[in-house]
A and B are shown apart, each in its own frame.
Chain A
Amino acid sequence: MGRTFRRLVLLGPGLGWWLVFLVVPLLVVFAYSFFQRGTYGGVVFDFTLDNYVRALDPLYLNVLWFSLRVAVITTVVALLIGYPAAYFIATRPRRWRTPLLILIILPFWTSFLIRTYAWIVLLNREGLINRSLQGLGIIDQPLPLLYNEFAIVIGLVYGYLPLMILPLYAAIERLNPELREAATNLGARPIKVFFTVTVPLTLPGILAGCIFVFVPSLGNFIVPDLLGGGRSIMVGNLIQGQFLKARDWPFGATLALVLIALMLVLLVVQARIINRDRPADADAN
């Protein structure tokens, strides 16, 4: 059998499926963003740039700004929690590493919806945390823990922390311990070794982890919907509202494209930083 035929049999079904059910649908979204909404929903095929002008309205820019802020805070918090955890696992004896990693990743594989719901039970006015604090006499009135930015950040950190720890672990584990020892032997204090040797050499892992957390946080729909009180507060809710409630598909398509554009910018920035640091990275391996 010829090489072309083999390529067709092996690569054809997968690439074909993605062409029809991913690439073409994304092109439809792109096209919709230049059309108008029909009177009763639906799409009227008249070219317009109105949707893009409308996306610049302060009302929507605020939503976008809030989404970016929440995603950045979530990513930073996940990095600060995740790095020491990944570092500890990566420096354990080999036989401990896999079981610890499985423990970290296991919750990630169960229903995101249910894991988010758990935080309603915990953060509620009548929830476990408020009741416990009241029972201990620490507070009189229940704290407003749910339906705000705080709850959204907790829900997102909880949901995506394993995605931060995995690439960090991979980067730290690959690190040659002799580099740290050399720095220590030359008189550098542990803090200095960490910030001048360990962090720069694990930068690709840091960036990968940040992308893995930032991307799904930015476009998230479940967490702001359930823990943020269900208003159109993040861009994911806004897109959902345009498609399923307001029935303005062209504007929803435009917002989705803005989301994709933001993520592409981010990926380009990441690729640039990694390429700039390539020589250092090569030394680490």
Chain B
Amino acid sequence: MRISFLDPGRWLGAHLGLVLLFLYLPIAVLIVLSFNDSGLPTTWTGFSTRWYEAVLTDDKILGSAVNTIIIGAISTIIATAIGTLLALGLERLTNNALLDGLVFVPGIIPDIVLAIALLSFYNLVFTGMLGLKLGLWSVIVAHVVFNITFVTAIVRTRLRHFDISIEEASLDLGANEITTFRRITLPIILPGVIAAALVAFTLSVDEFVVAFFTAGTTITFPIQVYSMIRFGGTPEINAIATVVVFVSFVLILASQRLNREQV
């Protein structure tokens, strides 16, 4: 008994258990509360789905969700296309450590800095000179900026396991570069590309700070959730949280699965 008490492995295992509890308990609390009829965090008055019904009949929430899905879908398509090309270029055409490092900057730059930089730029060029109003497009452009980094990083890991002689064989047999890319390269790296797109979509639909600054008067889903939290939390937030957590977990686990098959 004394030996197992002193065994550092046991203590570390217990510590990891506490860390996982710390990470998951707050989320679990929200999920449980979302089914609480009273909507209060402290009194359980029975199981109910009324907060989900309230969310599904709230036009403001649904409208903001539609905006966010549009932003997520378009920014993901653009970022995935650009990021995949960039990954191919960095992996095949360059060997520049500085460039490899700089690629990460747009992904790790503080969101508040990206937000105010784009707001200043949009205001000067698009609103000031061209008379355009901020809206869906300005958030899409902003989300592409950081999502290129994530797509590039994920596709690059896939490309590292790529047997380049298959491409050379295709070129030797007379296929041109575009055909080779379409018929050989893309099908092989496709699971990595889809995994990257899933991550990009998740990041876009959950993103708040940059959208808050660059959306103009448009309300995205996270902006709607923020205002609900900020101006008196309502029980609907728990239902929203449960749906968001569920969707994010499914997308990320799907992405993980796709990427695991790479080796």
Contacts and interface: CB of A to CB of B under 8 A. Distances in A.
A65 interface: no
B30 A114 contact: yes
Given A1-B177, A215-B108, A219-B111, 11 more contacts: A14-B152, A29-B116, A84-B12, A109-B199, A109-B251, A111-B245, A158-B22, A190-B8, A212-B108, A219-B110, A256-B112
Contact of B41 (A22, A87, A127): A127
B19 A121 contact: no
A270 interface: no
Contacts of B249: 106, 109-110
Given A14-B83, A114-B225, A219-B112, A89 B16 contact: yes
A117 B23 CA distance: 14
Interface string A137-177: 00000000000000000000010011000000000000000
B193 to A, nearest CB: 14
Contacts of B92: 10
Interface majority SS (helix, strand, loop, mixed), chain A: helix
A121 B208 CA distance: 20
11 contacts: A7-B93, A14-B85, A18-B106, A24-B121, A85-B15, A110-B244, A110-B245, A118-B241, A122-B26, A219-B111, A221-B209
- For chain A, the bracket of interface size reads 35 or more
**Pairs of residues from A and B, 7 with the lowest C-beta to C-beta distance, nearest first:** A10-B89, A219-B110, A14-B86, A25-B121, A118-B26, A25-B117, A88-B12
A21 B141 contact: yes
Most chain B C-beta atoms within 10 Å of own C-beta, residue among A1, A11, A218: A11
A206 interface: no
B190 interface: no
A252 interface: yes
A126 B42 contact: yes
Contacts of B208: 111-113, 222
B16 to A, nearest CB: 5
Contact of B245 (A13, A114, A161, A236): A114
